[in-house]
Amino acid sequence: MAKEMIYNVSETADRLDKYVAEQTGLSRSHIKNTIASGGVKVNGKTAKPSDKLHIGDVVIVRIPEPQQIEAVPQDIPVDIVYQDGDIAVVNKPQGMVVHPAPGNIDGTLVNALLFHLKDLSGINGEIRPGIVHRIDKDTSGLLVIAKNDDAHISLQQQIGGKAARRIYAAIVHGNIKEDEVTVDKPIARSKRDRKKMAVDVSGRDAVTHFRVVERFGDYTYVEAELETGRTHQIRVHAAAIHHPVAGDAVYGPKKVQLHRGGQLLHAKMLTLCHPRTGEAMVFEAPLPDYFEKTLTKLRGRT
């Protein structure tokens, strides 16, 4: 059954889609689809996302019950950099979602892991087995996977306690003049767009260290090390210092020119202590083809 919500407009509002998104906490794109399917009515009539609301309007929103999602094994190739009885380290390609979710119910890294690995920790439930930390769909690179709950707890503590190191390669817009820049700005869910994150004084502490590797005039190749692990942290912090990650249409320029496959961001290095033996372990993933080709293109321009 669909969930029905009724809103009485008490003050002059903006567009219908914006108003409903703010009231429900759902994304604008989700609301636009709901409106298009007839799930939103104003004063008993169907409406368009761009319709203006007025004081006294009654908005009825019907949100379908969420689709039941089940993680099933799928024979999808996955680059397993290392594995033993407790952990696995994988190199996720750009364009792959980490775990099933509405809109991405299969074809994810979890679906591949369930096929290729025998055991995965259950702490994060059936939809995210073994997943200790995540990277975005269009970010490539290293992730550590827990094969049992003890390993999961240890890895979670290492990441949360800053004992594990995570270093990313990125190409950002503009010329960063300083060789090193530390961004210490709290991050929270954006109040304007619930699908985005934003620098917000009321948010959780977030620290990113940027180090310049190579300059190309209008672009800079950097390494970014996470001290904390907030959603979209590197992308938000890069945009906050006016050097958004190239290819990132969410936090950077809407017209993407350098690379159209997603943000140029790659989790290149991961260091941790083995959860059972305590051994210090260092893993590195070479820059993928899409990243190397972009660097070659930039070097050819200078």
Q: Which of 143, 107, 138 is nearest to 124 (CA)?
A: 143
Q: How many CA atoms lie within 13 A of 164 on its CB side?
A: 24
Of 57, 86, 136, 248, catalytic: 136
Burial zone of 168 (CB within 10 Å; 0-12 exposed, 13-18 middle, 19+ buried): buried
Quick one: which H or E segment has residue 213?
strand 207-215
Strand partners, 272: 281
CA distance 129 to 113: 9
Burial zone of 12 (CB within 10 Å; 0-12 exposed, 13-18 middle, 19+ buried): exposed
CA distance 85 to 13: 57
Estimate to the nearest angstrom the gap between the alpha carbon of 288 and the chain centroid: 19
CA distance 21 to 244: 26
CA distance 200 to 90: 33
57 is catalytic: no
With contact defined as beta carbons under 8 Å apart, do 166 and 267 qualify?
A: yes
Structure tokens at 3: 């969930």
Annotated catalytic residues are 136
